[in-house]
Amino acid sequence: MFHVKHKQNTVFKKNKFFGFLNKKNIAGLTKDALVVFLSELVLETDKKFLLEFQNDNDVFDFYNTAKEHSSAVFTYFPLKEKENRVPGFEKEDDRYQKESLIRLSEKRGVSCLGTPRSFNKKNIPTGLARNKKVLSFSIGETLNQESFVEFLLSLEHEKVDMVEQPSSFSQKGDVVDFFPKHQKNPIRVSFEFNKVDNICSFDPRSQLSLQKLNRVYVQGFKKTQVSDNINLIDYCPAALLVSVKINNALFSLSFNNEKQKKNLGFCTYFFPKKTTKNNQFDINKTLNGFKNVFFISQTKKAPVVFQNVQPNFIYGSIEKSFFSKKLGVFFLSENDFLGTYSQKNRWEPSRSNNVFNFSKTSVSQLTKGDLVVHKSFGVGSYLGPIEKRSKIGVIEGVELEYKNNTKVFVSMENLDLIHRYVGTGKKPSLSTLGSKKWLGEIKKTRTSVKVVAYEIFSLYSKKLQKRNFNYVKENDIGNALSSSFSFLETPDQKKAILDVYRDMNKNKPMDRLICGDVGFGKTEVAIRAIFKACLSNKTSVLLCPTTILADQHFITCNERLSPFGVRVSLLSRFKSKTEQTKTILQLKKGKTDVLIGTHRVLSKDVFIKNLGLLIIDEEHRFGVKHKEKIRSIKNNVDVLTLTATPIPRTLQQSLVGIRNLSTIKTPPLSRKPITTFVKYFNWDLIYNRIKRELNRKGQIYFLNNDIKTIPIIVKKLKQRFKSQTIEGASGKMSSKHLEEVVLAFFDGKIDILVCTTIIESGLDVTNANTLIVNNAQNFGLAQLYQIRGRVGRGEKQAECLLLIPQKKELDVSSYNRLKAIEKNTALGSGYNISQKDLEIRGSGSLFGYKQSGHISTVGFEMYCELLKEEVETLKKGKQNKKPPLLIISEKAELSSSYIKREQMRIDYYYQLSKASSIKEIKKIENNLNDAFGPPPKETIVLINTVKVKTMLLGSLISKIEASNETLSLFFKNQNLDFDIDAFFKTVKNFKHKRLVSYKYENNKDFDLIIRFKTKKFFPSMSLLFSFIKLIK
């Protein structure tokens, strides 16, 4: 628990607390002021409070703000709704309730937040508090492991193989993992006999340890025989019940219905935008007349503008500064100066940074029947893991099925030879084993990627030619534009802007890709580049794949740039023929600085005078013909490409030095996670959510992807909400009508927009914060994520309601998709959700060539690998990068007794097979040790064989045979510069404690064979490692 150490009673005078405790009603508190008041009240008095808000929206919004300031003081007690619950999608209500019940049963003070319905619901077993059990221990203390396990069982923890979910535990030798329901992360306890040797929290997804803990408190309730239930008020009779009301963003607290309240006179203080950048801002004038000044921060880092101000420090985090002239106090928020405020999901576990992020084409993600590609045999069907008998015992691997019921066994160490099939067209047929067709397809694709690789290189070489002009350097006018930006730039956004400026300041044309999640501020980077081009008397073009996106960009650019005299025009099907002709004429005359438009911009009748900068938003969404036209324009201009699609790792690596990449991964500050629910379709539920949004003067998206039923839904909603404006929108409407509807929604003239996926990209309405998606099971994960990105762009708490038909039983893939979107609620989750459809689209952001036929034939990953090889050849020439064949007499595996979860075991095999350096292998080795304990002998052998293959990649050693008594190295001399005499001398001087003797041989297949006689070669294989180091 964080405890603020500041002067006693300097924040709020004691009489304010005691007056309140004597049930004197108070009013005039901003949201942040109430957070600080309640926090100080609890810390000062150690009392318990039940704060009763009027509705679920208000209480959850306040809780999310309050917990960021002090999670030690605030808990949330929601109502557990049973209606419309889809199995497997119960929200975290249980965990919130459990945390509240535990905290209210402690001696410490707490503020528990809820509603009249949640506080009065009789759902707590009588006598529950008497059944509470507590166990506390620290490192070095005596604790019997079996007694601890019994304790966890008594708290209804379920024993499992691997701890991933709350209320579960596992036992692995001297290690016990357990996950308390009211904690964010599970805990790992290591025992040494009957002593606690180590305690740490860990990541439930990767099983890797996070933070070392000195002491833990394990709390919970024994199973109670339910004879009668009570409500929360009866459960904690000592707690003071306080009613919270909100009027015009000001909060009041009352114990009774008396209207008389003491007004504390708090107001929010709005500092000038970008206080940190404005040197003229004098904070002393603002604080003049206030007796007490406090700075609320989590870092104690004082902003530059403070100069002579020395405020009292309070540990915490609030969104906005506030003050009261009546009390003579001013509270400064760190966020107003440093832009540090953000909200996190209470139950989102902390994640380990040591995880290998492989794409969803990883073999561990495969299920039976999925199509896979084997590099040598082609497209097959995945049948799953199997075991096969061999000379050295049982070998684990996976089985693939090909045409005519033929099967292929792939051992676990060779998993890098297969990957999930991802294509762009129809499902391919299975390959035939023994046929030359697959090799023919690879040959054709290789020929095709040579063209792509050559064109990428040609484009790159053209970019090396000098520009015939120079852009003006950044100046005060440019700073005026950045000061007009209504948000603080995130660190990644700042870096992307600097990257673009740096490129434009060079004498060669820019070619940069800005990759960032939905709503992460890529447009702002483009606006800065446009302004720089405009100051240099150059025209800019911003190309968009859809009319709605073009319209949105036009509105944003006009708002930001027109105050500086920049002339912005729009060219799309939203404009009439007359308007289009006028815009084209203005362009020819050079009277347009920025042209924003769809593929209409690429038409023959459009001539862009003095073009300097081309910006392309989501290039992959343009057609092949349009991409070819874009490529012809790209030649002599600066190019900036924006994409929300993570670029495949394979392609990123091969394009280093050819195309510059800036990635914006940090979410905008002050954004809140989007609360996401999966429910059965129910009109009462829909009406309730719409009413809640309308009550806070907000707008609603109702996504119904069936054009025929949109009028029916619009009619039904109009019958219920007679005074609201409700409209439908789809791509089938006329351009003019669609534009009218979209702009009316943007301007706040439409309350509810019933629409198709036309909103997927483009609409940016900060006042629309409720999204209802009908038949959510029919959408792809990436599409759902893009759609959800339409809400949560303002300061209000956004909500996404995903509806599935009543009594609908979800198939596995639909369930997994909806579960992933429900879990990944924070902005920035797009990088967690990066999966096959995103990766296919990502390829379009790198090259706009007609390659879909080849991708469909050999699969996306194989295509990327072939392209990578060709690019590498053009960069460095052809290289021999084959590892030696390794034949050993010992078992080399990750056994099921070491890693019980099959999927995780396959994932580690896959990681080892894909590892390309000793550093990566050591990282995997450390992760195994951390998550599953010291590896057994067969796992050590496996790791060492992978190390050997990596160390000898492309070397003269082409085969190794090893047993415990012998080691044979087979050489093929392909290097004319190889000094054989020096090599013999090195071998002669080689000494090792496991070496007995050696001899030379050769035969028709190998130029040289060295056979070592050894002692106990396995599992360390140290003799071989020493020899490799010597000859390298």
Cβ neighbours of residue 758 under 8 Å, at least 6 residues apart? Answer: 546, 548, 729, 730, 731, 738
Among the listed residues 418, 388, 400, 401, the one whose alpha carbon sits nearest the alpha carbon of residue 893? 388
pLDDT for res 476: 55
* Residue 760 reports pLDDT greater than 50: yes
pLDDT for res 976: 57
Question: Hey, which of 272-286, 802-816, 943-957, 973-987 has the most confident mean pLDDT?
Answer: 943-957
Question: Residue 157 in contact with residue 173, Cβ under 8 Å?
Answer: no
Taken in order 222, 237, 79, 25, the sign of the CA dihedral is negative
pLDDT band at 154 (very low <50, low <70, confident <90, very high): very high
Local structure of residue 964 (DSSP, 8 states): S
pLDDT band at 831 (very low <50, low <70, confident <90, very high): very low
Half-sphere exposure of 728 (CA within 13 A, CB side): 21
Alpha carbons 177 and 149: distance in angstroms, whole number: 10
Task: Please report, as a single letter, which amino acid is at residue 883.
Answer: P
Question: Of 178 and 903, which is predicted with more confidence?
Answer: 178
pLDDT for res 857: 81
* Residue 738 reports pLDDT greater than 70: yes
Among the listed residues 175, 185, 131, 190, the one whose alpha carbon sits nearest the alpha carbon of residue 156? 131
Reported pTM: 0.75
Q: How far is CA 607 from CA 542, 592, 601, in A?
A: 15, 12, 9
* Residue 845 reports pLDDT greater than 50: no
* Residue 751 reports pLDDT greater than 70: yes
Taken in order 173, 174, 180, 184, the sign of the CA dihedral is negative
| pLDDT, tens digit (0-9, with 9 covering 90-100), for 600-625 | 999 888 888 899 999 999 776 777 67
pLDDT band at 524 (very low <50, low <70, confident <90, very high): very high
Cα angle 57, 61, 62 (rounded to 5 degrees) comes to 120
* Residue 280 reports pLDDT greater than 70: no
Only one residue has tokens 């790992």, namely 188
Question: Of 72 and 628, which is predicted with more confidence?
Answer: 72
Per DSSP, the three-state class of 551 is: helix
pLDDT for res 6: 38
Cα angle 355, 360, 362 (rounded to 5 degrees) comes to 75
* Residue 552 reports pLDDT greater than 70: yes
Share of residues in the chain with pLDDT > 70 (%): 87
Only one residue has tokens 């099983």, namely 207
How large is the average pLDDT for residues 753-768?
82
Cβ neighbours of residue 807 under 8 Å, at least 6 residues apart? Answer: 680
How large is the average pLDDT for residues 316-327?
91
Question: Residue 454 in contact with residue 447, Cβ under 8 Å?
Answer: no
pLDDT for res 780: 80
Q: What is the token pair recorded at 942?
A: 């496996």
Question: Residue 533 in contact with residue 503, Cβ under 8 Å?
Answer: no
Question: Of 257 and 504, which is predicted with more confidence?
Answer: 504
* Residue 650 reports pLDDT greater than 70: no
Question: Residue 650 in contact with residue 864, Cβ under 8 Å?
Answer: yes
How large is the average pLDDT for residues 683-706?
91
pLDDT for res 258: 67
Question: Residue 272 in contact with residue 279, Cβ under 8 Å?
Answer: no
Q: What is the DSSP string of 767-819?
A: TEEEEEETTGGGS-HHHHHHHHTTS--SSSPPEEEEEE-TTPPPPHHHHHHHH
Task: Please report, as a single letter, which amino acid is at residue 303.
Answer: P
Cβ neighbours of residue 396 under 8 Å, at least 6 residues apart? Answer: 385, 386, 387, 388, 411, 412, 893, 894
Q: What is the token pair recorded at 277?
A: 């950048």
Neighbours of 127 (CB within 10 A): 13
Question: Residue 46 in contact with residue 71, Cβ under 8 Å?
Answer: no
How large is the average pLDDT for residues 925-952?
93
**Cα-atom radius of gyration of the chain, to the nearest Å?**
33
* Residue 699 reports pLDDT greater than 90: yes
The angle, 0 to 180 degrees and rounded to 10, between the axes of the packed helices 710-720 and 683-695 is: 60
pLDDT for res 2: 29
Q: How far is CA 717 from CA 387, 709, 713, 791, 801, in A?
A: 59, 13, 6, 20, 16
Only one residue has tokens 């100046």, namely 475
Neighbours of 574 (CB within 10 A): 23
Of 103-107, 334-338, 670-674, which range is least confident? 670-674
Of 267-276, 573-582, 889-898, 962-971, which range is least confident? 267-276
pLDDT for res 199: 97
Per DSSP, the three-state class of 341 is: coil
pLDDT for res 278: 43
How large is the average pLDDT for residues 242-258?
88
Q: What is the token pair recorded at 823?
A: 């879990």
Question: Of 301 and 774, which is predicted with more confidence?
Answer: 774
pLDDT band at 669 (very low <50, low <70, confident <90, very high): low
pLDDT for res 393: 72
* Residue 45 reports pLDDT greater than 50: yes
Question: Of 830 and 184, which is predicted with more confidence?
Answer: 184
Taken in order 296, 297, 303, 308, the sign of the CA dihedral is positive
How large is the average pLDDT for residues 168-195?
93
| pLDDT, tens digit (0-9, with 9 covering 90-100), for 888-913 | 988 888 988 899 888 888 889 988 98
pLDDT band at 710 (very low <50, low <70, confident <90, very high): very high
Alpha carbons 70 and 181: distance in angstroms, whole number: 20
Share of residues in the chain with pLDDT > 90 (%): 44
The mean predicted confidence, pLDDT, of the chain is 85
- In SS3 terms, 920-940 reads as HHHHHHHHHHHHHCCCCHHHH
Cis before 1019 (ω within 30):
yes
Among the listed residues 640, 4, 555, the one whose alpha carbon sits nearest the alpha carbon of residue 318? 4
pLDDT for res 633: 81
* Residue 627 reports pLDDT greater than 50: yes
* Residue 483 reports pLDDT greater than 60: yes
Domains of the chain, earliest start first? 1-128+227-342 (no CATH), 129-221 (3.30.2060.10), 466-664 (3.40.50.300), 675-826 (3.40.50.300), 886-1031 (3.90.1150.50)
Question: Of 324 and 870, which is predicted with more confidence?
Answer: 324
How large is the average pLDDT for residues 316-331?
92
pLDDT for res 647: 58
Alpha carbons 382 and 191: distance in angstroms, whole number: 41
pLDDT for res 834: 46
* Residue 843 reports pLDDT greater than 60: no
pLDDT band at 670 (very low <50, low <70, confident <90, very high): low
Q: What is the token pair recorded at 42?
A: 């609890």
* Residue 880 reports pLDDT greater than 80: no
Among the listed residues 106, 346, 66, the one whose alpha carbon sits nearest the alpha carbon of residue 217? 106
pLDDT for res 425: 60
Cα angle 683, 688, 691 (rounded to 5 degrees) comes to 120
Question: Of 475 and 63, which is predicted with more confidence?
Answer: 63
pLDDT band at 756 (very low <50, low <70, confident <90, very high): very high
Per DSSP, the three-state class of 899 is: coil
Phi, psi (rounded to 5 degrees) for 632: -70, -30
Question: Hey, which of 215-219, 350-354, 899-903 has the most confident mean pLDDT?
Answer: 215-219
pLDDT band at 700 (very low <50, low <70, confident <90, very high): very high
Residue 350, phi-psi category: left (phi > 0), alpha (psi -120 to 50), beta (remainder): beta
Alpha carbons 183 and 95: distance in angstroms, whole number: 8
pLDDT for res 882: 82
